[in-house]
Amino acid sequence: MPVRVRVRLRSGSVVVVSALLNTGFTSDELDIHVPRGLAEKLGLWPPPGNASLEVLDTAGGEVLSYFIPNAVELVVVDENDVEVSRRITCNVIVSLHEREVLLSDAVIEELGIEIISPKTGLWRFRGESRLRRSA
């Protein structure tokens, strides 16, 4: 079972979704992928004026995606929608191919998330003893 966490994304509107922790999505910045349909709900589609069209190298080959800098506020929430992490501002990559929200390695590290058991979906925040289950 992959490790997913519940996140609240805030831009033009607020959406709570499950996000996949994807350590293979490497980035030097706080980047997340969101599907086009979710970008619409967040008010980020059609792309705003500050978006740029970029070629991304993925496991499936090169793809064109829109990059929107500093587009969403992200916070991890528990099953009761209570915030359990600090809030961070992330760049959004609008994907026409992905079906779920993906958090980059930089976002995972910035949030202090440690993947304990990727097969069984266990994770925790750095420094805590409580094990959490995948969303």
C-alpha separations of 65 from 16, 50, 95 in Å: 23, 14, 6
Domain 4-133 has CATH 2.40.70.10: yes
pLDDT in tens, 5-36: 999 999 989 999 999 999 999 999 999 999 99
Residue ranges per domain, the chain?
4-133
Cis before residue 46, ω within 30 degrees of 0?
yes
pLDDT in tens, 67-87: 999 999 999 999 999 999 999
* Length of the chain measured in residues: 135
Looking at residue 12, its pLDDT comes to 87
DSSP 83: B
Residue 124 CA to residue 131 CA, distance in Å, equals 5
CB 10 within 8 A of CB 73: yes
Residue 133 CA to residue 130 CA, distance in Å, equals 10
DSSP 121: T
Average model confidence (pLDDT) for the chain?
96
